[in-house]
Amino acid sequence: MMSRKTILAALLVAALGASGCSTVSNLNPFGKKDKGPAELAGEGQRISIIPPDQLLEPAEALKGVDFALPPAEKIAAWPLPGGTVEQSVGNVDAAPSLSVAWRKSIGQGSKRGRYVTAPPVAADGKVFAMDADGRVVAMDARSGAQLWRTATNPGDNKRDKLAFGGGVAFADGKLYVSSGFREVMQMDARTGAVGWRAKTSESIHGAPTVSGGRVFVVALDNTLMTFDAATGAPSWTYQALSESARILSASSPAISGDTVVAAFGSGELVALRTANGNDLWNEALSRASRTSALSEIRDIPGRPVIYQGDVFAVSHSGVFAATDLRTGQARWTLPVVGVTAPLPAGDVVYVVSKTGDVICASRENGQIFWMKSLNEGFKSKRKGGVFGIGGQKQTRPIWSSPLLANDRLLIVGQTGEMVVLNAKTGEITSRLSLKGSSITAPIAMGDTVYVLTQEADLIAIR
């Protein structure tokens, strides 16, 4: 199994500014805690939208109160990282026995300077995934047999240290691929043949979203770019605020009707018209603090999720918010530091915090039904050094976004296992060894759940 430090590097802070920025090798936002209360923001700084005395704990009024979840249904495809253009899938009927059906390598696993960060997608009886070297692979969904493999490296970026990440999306028989090699591509989903390539000025670390004949991607410089899905011709762009440092894991936009919602490294959550990019509203999910440099990283690395007229998103600077899609007004907020996508379903919304807490909150008002720590009992130790001096300090394991399957929350993480929780109570009911670390959320198609590990193994669970 890869070291925890190597896996964490896929989500570390990148220096994008020209002055005074740290590199990915010496900043780890997941291994340190903020200390002390938040301070008032100075001139030019964002002001916290969360009261400083707000506590994160289950509500007394909700103890013993039941809530509704949508019925479990089999889904025929998972074409986008979040399953749909709204990046929201409810309760899937899949993997009732949680047994591993097969495990297949898709190529190169995470290594220094290259990381497996792209979530797999599934459609037309195939699972599509991207390895750490940017190669896109199509696997037979039932057997795991490799059907084709296509490289995305154009051949002139071999030394690009940020040339990792990106992702894949499926629509109308085509595969759309974003790349750390500064390209967006269209491939034939049956053969892997490249239809078109479009150059971009910056690397793209998040997967595309495809809707209404357009491809939407967020670049490393906080630019939302759009392309014609048929030809690759560039269309409108939106430039968010620049940010000197961010998490090396970008989100995919969410779309509902004629509105696209994108999240940026600046902590901005922005809604725009899909046709022309006209700005509808802009909300900053930020908490002002001077106590920790890492707490000032305002990135929203996880996908925003649209569900029944609300947008759910969580930022690294400690804001988990439900926002009205039409008006942009925050309906409620919670002080949660997160790097993954929330999961709204029925009466509740689930989110996994950076520290490994699974939180089940009311969709209506944000009151918490229950919380469960996946890192309970974890004790930080140092590896290497002499007599406990020096060496590397272990950080808490990072966990993925959850998948709701048959009223169970399936969550994978750096411990090399899938943890299964009762979605109503938060009780851990079982654990499944994956023999590999994973930070990308499980997906489902038909009766099968698929997990992609940092070692570039695709695992089918039925």
Average of per-residue pLDDT values in the chain? 85
Structural domain tally of the chain? 1
| DSSP at 120 | P
Percent of the chain with pLDDT over 90: 71
Range of the domain at 182: 4-34+56-461
Strand (E) or helix (H) holding 4 = helix 4-8
Residue 49, in any domain of the structure: no
Confidence bin at 113 (pLDDT 50/70/90) = confident
pLDDT surpasses 60 at 3: no
Please tell me the predicted confidence (pLDDT) of residue 256.
Answer: 98
Question: What distance in Å separates the CA atoms of residue 257 and residue 268, rounded to the nearest whole number?
Answer: 21
Stretch 7-18: mean pLDDT, rounded?
A: 40
| Predicted confidence (pLDDT) per residue in 377-421, tens digit | 887 665 655 545 555 666 889 999 999 999 999 999 999 999 999
pLDDT surpasses 90 at 208: yes
Stretch 12-35: mean pLDDT, rounded?
A: 35
* Amino acid at the residue 279: D
Greater pLDDT, 289 or 361? 361
The burial of 6, by beta-carbon neighbours within 10 Å (0-12 exposed, 13-18 middle, 19 or more buried), is given as: middle
pLDDT surpasses 90 at 57: yes
Residue 44, in any domain of the structure: no
Please tell me the predicted confidence (pLDDT) of residue 112.
Answer: 77
Greater pLDDT, 289 or 35? 289
Please tell me the predicted confidence (pLDDT) of residue 249.
Answer: 62
Answer whether 111's CB lies under 8 Å from 157's CB.
no
Confidence bin at 36 (pLDDT 50/70/90) = very low
Please tell me the predicted confidence (pLDDT) of residue 154.
Answer: 75
Please tell me the predicted confidence (pLDDT) of residue 383.
Answer: 60
Confidence bin at 91 (pLDDT 50/70/90) = very high
Least confident range from 42-56, 64-78, 126-140, 376-390: namely 42-56
Please tell me the predicted confidence (pLDDT) of residue 288.
Answer: 57
Confidence bin at 12 (pLDDT 50/70/90) = very low
Please tell me the predicted confidence (pLDDT) of residue 163.
Answer: 66
| Predicted confidence (pLDDT) per residue in 440-461, tens digit | 999 999 999 999 999 999 999 9
**In which order are the strands placed within the sheet that holds 403-405?**
403-405, 408-412, 417-422, 428-433
| Predicted confidence (pLDDT) per residue in 152-170, tens digit | 987 655 555 556 789 999 9
| Predicted confidence (pLDDT) per residue in 292-323, tens digit | 445 567 789 999 999 999 999 999 989 999 99
Confidence bin at 228 (pLDDT 50/70/90) = very high
Maximum Cα–Cα distance for the chain, whole Å? 62
Question: What distance in Å separates the CA atoms of residue 20 and residue 401, rounded to the nearest whole number?
Answer: 33
Greater pLDDT, 386 or 226? 226
pLDDT surpasses 70 at 88: yes
Stretch 48-57: mean pLDDT, rounded?
A: 62
Question: What distance in Å separates the CA atoms of residue 68 and residue 208, rounded to the nearest whole number?
Answer: 32
Which tokens is 439 given? 């930070």
| Predicted confidence (pLDDT) per residue in 175-199, tens digit | 999 988 999 999 999 999 999 999 9
Confidence bin at 120 (pLDDT 50/70/90) = very high
Please tell me the predicted confidence (pLDDT) of residue 299.
Answer: 85
Write the DSSP assignment of 304-361 as a string of letters: PEEETTEEEEE-TTS-EEEEETTT--EEEEE----SS--EEETTEEEEE-TTSEEEEE
Domain holding 176: CATH number?
2.130.10.10
Which tokens is 56 given? 């994160």
Residue 365, in any domain of the structure: yes
Q: How far is CA 443 from the centre of its chain?
A: 12
